[in-house]
Amino acid sequence: MSEGRGTSMIRFEKICDEIFLLKVPFSTVWTGVVLITDDSGGKSYLIDSGSGTPEEYIIPALSQIGIRPEEIDYLLNTHCHGDHIGGHSRLAKEYGIKIATYEGGAKRLENPAENAVRIRSRFPEFSPKPQTWLEGVHADMVLKDGEVLGNRLKLIHTPGHDDDCVCWYDLPTKTIISGDSVQANGTPTQGIGFYQNLDKYTRSLDILSEIDVKTMIAGHEYDGIGGVIRGGKNVKRALRLCGEYVAEYDDFIRKKLDAGERSPAQIAVELIENMGCGMPEHLFLAMYTVNEHMERWFKEQA
């Protein structure tokens, strides 16, 4: 077999003891795949699987550090969006890796294409085609909020970006693998931070702020905080900044509404231009966020 595209492009980067990050290309950004190797317990875990086939990036990257996919004990996920679980089905079916997931996302993991249709059908004029190619997979283990896998990884339910979002808290290293639960100012493919429930998102930020965290690994490179935040004070600062972005969005959107603007798309464009993260090809993700703030404003006016 010839050297694959993934072999020459990306490798697992060591973040801290026994924790490695693979930045799998996705559109104009990357999606983080996290590897945890438990030297004392002999267990290995993967968190998320990117959007493409595992053979393109994940399998070559594991090979580079001497790990066969069959040696991975569990494949986890931070939520069931296609750029985070695109390789789950193949890793399970072709390599026999067991799947562990949050109880609130188990059904979505079985039918991620349906979930993609749900997200992209709310604002169809501003959305790309749904990822109908996504294949589902049945979880071998389902965990509740607060449960710990392998005496190591604690599941923390952190909805907002979506209802099934979780963070995995690595107890020995005090590392949070946050996926998309922490949005900051979003990515260029979003334009701004993307959350489907404003109240849940801000509560999740509060929950994470109460945890003793030394390192946080996000699901993408987020404007304002980056992708890997090291040091407890820096993590706290990043979480505070996420809340400040929410407040800044809210202030901007309220001023537009007070001035008579009612189009979520128009407000999204103006907000993205004001925040300076980058104008996405499709507005639907930013429109979710804008719509959440608009609904709060309309409720207050009633």
State the pTM of this model.
Answer: 0.95
Tell me, yes or no, whether 270 lies in a domain: no
Strand order in the sheet with 74-76: 13-16, 19-26, 29-38, 43-47, 74-76, 98-102, 141-143
Angle at 264 between CA 262 and CA 265, to 5 degrees: 120
Tell me, yes or no, whether 66 lies in a domain: yes
Tell me, yes or no, whether 141 lies in a domain: yes
Q: Closest by alpha carbon to 40, among 147, 152, 143, 148?
A: 152
| pLDDT at res. 42 | 79
Q: What's the domain range around 176?
A: 5-245
| pLDDT at res. 264 | 98
Q: Tell me, what CATH number does 183's domain have?
A: 3.60.15.10
Q: What is the mean pLDDT of each run of 10 residues along the chain (302 residues)?
A: 47 96 96 90 92 95 95 97 97 98 98 97 96 96 97 97 98 98 97 98 98 98 98 98 98 98 98 95 98 98 91
Q: Is the dihedral of CA 124, 263, 220, 170 positive or negative?
A: negative
| pLDDT at res. 48 | 98
Q: Residue 52 in 3-state DSSP?
A: coil
Residue type, 291: N
Token representation of residue 64: 């580079």
| pLDDT at res. 224 | 97
Tell me, yes or no, whether 286 lies in a domain: no
Tell me, yes or no, whether 300 lies in a domain: no
Token representation of residue 19: 């924790």
Distance CA 68, CA 292 (A): 44
Q: Residue 117 in 3-state DSSP?
A: helix
Tell me, yes or no, whether 272 lies in a domain: no
| pLDDT at res. 3 | 37
Number of domains in the chain: 1
